[in-house]
Amino acid sequence: MIRKILSTKNPKMSQICKKVKVVDKKVISITKDLKETLKAQKEPEGVGLAAPQIGENLRIFAMNDNGKIRVIINPEILEISKEKPKKEKSDEKEIMEGCLSLPNYYGPLKRFQRVKIKYLGLNGTLKEEEFKGLSAQIVQHEIDHLNGIVFVNRLLEQKQPLYKLENDEWVEIELI
Ligand code: NI
């Protein structure tokens, strides 16, 4: 079922989500709704959707991983790329990031390029996986949602501007 996406202002978006205890029918149904709702988003399209965005207080998210929509349950970060990169390039890359709970707003956010997580698969087994580049960015954004953090909080931390895309033009928005 395609669900309504909550706005970042909704109090449910700033709660810390609970771990999934058992992958039961209810959890499976939420994973299906997350996938369907993510797929249905056009203008703007989305690359990830977390359970709190559809009002479910559980540690689950859906993501578009190189063209494939996948579901991740109970993600825990095992490693994040913090080693000194070669030469003097930063290990973090700045990209314009947005969120389906705040459509048409974007900001240049720094995320780590690689992240290794453990998570629960749909069949209930524990898995470990490393994500890189855009997929790593999505994983970090979605795990933030499960901890009640939205990308605008990260922009404030990094003292970066927020822009609104209006008639194909970027308008800077004042963050208070
Ligand atoms: Ni988001």
Could you tell me if residue 2 is inside a domain? no
- On the question of pLDDT at 87 being above 70, the answer is no
Q: What's the 88 CA to ligand 1 centre distance in angstroms?
A: 31
What is the structure's pLDDT at 82? 73
CATH number assigned to the domain comprising residue 49:
3.90.45.10
Task: Look up the domain containing 68 and give its range.
Answer: 11-173
Distance CA 60, CA 120 (A): 9
Residues 6+ apart with CB under 8 A from 137: 95, 97, 111
What is the structure's pLDDT at 114? 94
What is the structure's pLDDT at 107? 94
Could you tell me if residue 3 is inside a domain? no
Q: What's the 85 CA to ligand 1 centre distance in angstroms?
A: 28
Could you tell me if residue 168 is inside a domain? yes
Q: Is residue 144 within a helix (H) or strand (E), and if so which, with residue range?
A: helix 133-146
User: Taking the model in full, what pTM does it have?
Assistant: 0.92
Residue that the structure tokens 């993600």 belong to: 75
Q: Give the count of domains, the chain.
A: 1
Residues, CB within 5 angstroms of ligand 1 (ion)? 99
Instruction: Tell me whether residue 142 is one of the annotated catalytic residues.
Output: yes
Could you tell me if residue 6 is inside a domain? no
Could you tell me if residue 150 is inside a domain? yes
Exposed, middle or buried by CB within 10 Å (0-12, 13-18, 19+), for 132?
middle
**Each residue's pLDDT tens digit, 11-28:** 999 999 999 999 999 999
Q: What's the 98 CA to ligand 1 centre distance in angstroms?
A: 7
Could you tell me if residue 87 is inside a domain? yes
Distance linking the first and last C-alpha atoms of the chain:
36
Strands in 14-121 per DSSP E: 48-50, 60-65, 68-80, 92-97, 105-112, 114-120
Could you tell me if residue 34 is inside a domain? yes
Could you tell me if residue 127 is inside a domain? yes
